[in-house]
Chain A
Amino acid sequence: MKAANETNPDVTTEVAGIKLNSPLVLASGILGTSSDILKRVASEGAGAVTMKSIGPVEREGHPNPNVIEFGFGMLNAVGLPTPGVDNVLQEMEELKTSPVPVIASVYGSTVDDFVMIVEKLKPYKPAAFELDISCPNKEDGLAFMASEDVVYKLVSSVKKAAGNIPVIPKLSPNTHSIPRIAAACKKAGADALCAINTASAMVINIEARKPVLAYKKGGLSGPALKPIAVRCVYEAYQATGLPIIGTGGVTTGRDAIEMIMAGASAVGMGTAVYYRGISAFREVLGEMKEWMRNNNVRSVKEIIGAAHY
């Protein structure tokens, strides 16, 4: 029998019944504006790709600057630009030939918005619906995180509309209680969770005496967000046991392993694309395998939630 450090570690995983050849998932809002670029990210090593969040009607987003990198991570207030669900259907059609599962991220202001979008996208059979209830950069972006009742009503309604397509609510760190919101999602029938979205933040240019982002505040991502994300994933896993796409500041193989040990079954990457380019997916997977070989870990599945005791 070969020792574990001589074999190729098993990096396959599963989230809400979706089988992934790599645990590394392109997070929503990063590059996911067209089918061509999503397919390219897929061909460069991502295990799954998430589309940029799709809204009910066309929306331009906020004026610039709406993304900055400030030394410890990024802030963005892109403001959910979307062609609107009716203008996305052609891209959905083209994504049917994606080499990896495609997750459709959706947002809306009301339960009816979410249900309407999910019903229109359902015929194109995305691998899952991610519910963006956690964008800090839209007036009502966090409304569904405000109470367990509200999030329960949303997730249960979407679940009914989605049929057999899995539903994955994406949680915000800007909430009174990750465990309570996560538990409400589970009770409503969520198949998995994505945690976390960016954290509301601000950077001021002191010479201009103004916040740099045109929206003034924005969502924090990148290395500065990672410890918050790890805590949220840990809490959500403990509270629900649901599979989690752990997202927030992962830029290296060690970061990804840490997120998995907190309880993630798959790992979202977004801002890493700034630090390492699209090749981040292949490189981080290589670093994960190297760590697994050196530490006699044969399979990603055996370390999910390993940090819980």
Chain B
Amino acid sequence: MKPEIETEHACKGTIPKNVPRMVRILDVIEENPFVKTFLLDIKMDALPGQFVMVWLPGLDEKPMSVRGTSEASPAVKALLQKAKLKPNSEGAVAITVEARGPTTKELLQKKPNDMIGIRGPYGKPYSIVEDSIMVGGGVGMPPVAFLADILKKRRLLQGARTKERLLFLDQYEDMRISTDDGTLGHKGFVTELLEEEIMKKKPKMVYACGPELMMLAVLRICRKHRIPMEASLERYMRCGLGVCGSCVCGNRVVCVEGPVFNDKELEEMADFGKFALTKSARKVTLKEYYSG
């Protein structure tokens, strides 16, 4: 492959693809007390599992998975129609964001017509295999929901700590739910629902996105039942372009070789389920990484 040096747009005065462009927020949907979905006025050919870098000028930039596009996701299209919105760019992208640090907290203050910066989509998406089971845990749910919008034959499972943390309840009537405290659905782990579903009928593929220890448990279950699986990893990211090394997990570069990896790749990644790099590139346990 010869390098493609993208001079064309720069010479024609359009914005290069890896520079964030400012886009309008069309609508903001409160999913639960901690999570909001933003509909953005930008047409984008994003696939489930891919992410965008979201820039708040003067503050920070963070990777966020794409919850859906108006073209590919009927649920996102329905949101646009319900709010009677017409994007200028003839398409919209949805991202679903949880308030965690200063950047996401600031983002959750944004209102319709505010502008934010976007670049992407980036990363390797999920494969598309019908007759699958998808498992979303907590804020790992958005990319799994996007995938559920595209697949015709699938079973959708969602796990969360408690009822008020659950997402998209009104959008998927056939979704099975588990909560740690039993406030809604099965009391216990979503992986228990997964085992139940596998016993009912063995799927051709299992997709997962959520806490890494949940995905590790899903990997083990799939291995036991000899079912292919794919999971989407979260690591601290800077460039999103595969050069800075901030997001490496084992010997893999998560931002360009992932964030979606298959069962074989996950098993070969020495750090999966164990370690992650901090902002200072210090390798720490996942527990320390999440508390930091």
Q: Any chain B CB within 8 A of the CB of A29?
A: yes
**Chain A residues in 8 Å Cβ range of B120:** none
Task: Let me know if A78 and B5 touch, CB within 8 A.
Answer: no
Beta-carbon contact of B62 and A64 below 8 Å: yes
A251 to B57, Cβ gap below 8 A?
A: no
Stretch in contact with the other chain, from B91-99, B141-149, B176-184, B242-250: B242-250
Cross-chain pair count, CB within 8 angstroms = 158
Complex contact B248–A84 (CB within 8 A): no
By a CB distance below 8 angstroms, the chain A residues around B242 are: 273-274, 277
CA–CA, A37 to B246, complex, Å?
11
Do A61 and B279 have beta carbons less than 8 Å apart? yes
Nearest opposing residue in chain B for A280, CB measure: B3
**Once the chains are docked, how many angstroms separate the CA of A222 from the CA of B9?**
17
Contact A87:B282 (CB < 8 A) given known A39-B251, A205-B20: yes
Complex Cα spacing A65 to B21, Å:
13
Whether, in the assembled complex, A212 has its beta carbon less than 8 Å from a beta carbon of chain B, the answer is yes
Instruction: Give 1 or 0 for each of B1-34: 1 = CB within 8 Å of chain A CB.
Output: 1111111011000001011111000000000000
Interface string of B85-122 (1 = CB under 8 A from A): 00000000000000000000000000000010100000
Do residues B283 and A34 form an inter-chain contact, with CB atoms below 8 A? yes
Given the interface pairs A36-B250, A36-B270, A67-B244, the reply to whether A84 lies near B280 with Cβ below 8 Å is: yes
Residues of A within 8 A of B2 (CB): 252
Q: Determine the chain A residues whose CB is within 8 A of the CB of B5 once the complex forms.
A: 72, 223, 251, 275
Would you call A72 and B7 a contact (CB within 8 A)?
yes
Of the candidates A60, A70, A208, A278, the one having the most CB atoms from chain B within 10 angstroms of its own CB is A208
Q: A34-B277, A81-B280, A272-B3 are in contact. Are A65 and B245 (CB under 8 A)?
A: no
Known: A61-B280, A82-B280, A205-B20. A31 touches B243 (CB 8 A): yes
Which of A52, A223, A279 contacts B245 (CB under 8 A)?
A52
Q: Which residue of B lies closest to A67 (CB)?
A: B239
A207 CB contacts on chain B under 8 angstroms: 21-22, 115
Is B213 an interface residue, CB under 8 A from the partner?
no
Residues A24-82 near B (CB distance < 8 A) = 29-34, 36-37, 39-40, 52, 58-61, 63-72, 74, 76, 78, 81-82
Interface centre among B7, B242, B270, B281 (most CB of A within 10 A): B281
User: Please, how many angstroms separate the alpha-carbon atoms of A82 and B278 in the complex?
Assistant: 10
CA distance A69 to B241 in the complex (A): 8
Judging by beta carbons under 8 Å apart, are B9 and A208 in contact?
A: no
Q: Which 10 A-B pairs have the closest CB atoms?
A: A71-B10, A67-B239, A64-B61, A83-B282, A275-B3, A33-B245, A69-B18, A71-B16, A207-B22, A40-B251
15 residue pairs from A and B, CB less than 8 Å apart: A31-B244, A34-B245, A63-B60, A67-B241, A67-B243, A68-B19, A71-B6, A74-B241, A74-B243, A81-B281, A83-B282, A205-B21, A207-B115, A276-B1, A278-B253
